[in-house]
Amino acid sequence: MVDPNVPVPGMIEISLPLILIQLCNFLVALAFLNYVLIKPVRDIIAERKAKMAGLLDSADDFNKAADLKLKNYESELAKARVQAVSQRDDVRDSALKVEADILGQANSDAQTFIQDAKAQIKSEAKKAMLTLKDQIDALSVKAVDRILS
């Protein structure tokens, strides 16, 4: 029969004081690792997380500012287009008025010229008729002389 108090070679011996010492060693090692390794890594991760959040906020603010500037630019561009169309229409209307005035003046000048020309032609025709009436006797005598001769 085997005595339970006698250690058997190759078997693991479990003793309470040894377990308590190992537990203390583990807790000390855990505290040391926490102080030396785990806590600094956690701090670095937290710092990185805060920095990334700040960068993301900055990027969001930048995007919002860019969107606002783009909307303002598009709004100003639309206003400029409307203003350009308005100015173009105003210039076109003004040019059409000037054209109508010029055409009206030219038409008036042409009518005056035509009336003056008609009056001059009438006057010259009257002069020619009077001249021919004065010369009709002499011309008829010449015509008769030619016919008879």
User: Which residues neighbour 132 within 8 Å (Cβ) at sequence distance 6 or greater?
Assistant: 139
User: How does the average pLDDT of the chain come out, rounded?
Assistant: 91
Residue 13 pLDDT greater than 80, yes or no: no
pLDDT of residue 7: 63
Q: How far is CA 38 from CA 32, 42, 49, in A?
A: 9, 6, 16
Using one digit for the tens of pLDDT, what is the confidence trace for 108-118? 999 999 999 99
Using one digit for the tens of pLDDT, what is the confidence trace for 44-93? 999 999 999 999 999 999 999 999 999 999 999 999 999 999 999 999 99
- Using DSSP's 3-state secondary structure scheme, residue 72 falls into helix
Distance, in Å, from the CA atom of 100 to the CA atom of 92, rounded to the nearest integer, reads: 12
Stretch 25-51: mean pLDDT? 95
pLDDT of residue 85: 96
Q: How far is CA 94 from CA 45, 86, 98, 103, 107, in A?
A: 72, 12, 6, 14, 20
Residue 62's identity, in one-letter code, is: F
- Residue 7 contacts residue 13 (beta carbons within 8 Å): yes
Residue 2 pLDDT greater than 80, yes or no: no
- Residue 23 contacts residue 17 (beta carbons within 8 Å): no
User: Where does the pLDDT of residue 6 fall: very low under 50, low under 70, confident under 90, or very high at 90 and above?
Assistant: low
User: Where does the pLDDT of residue 8 fall: very low under 50, low under 70, confident under 90, or very high at 90 and above?
Assistant: low
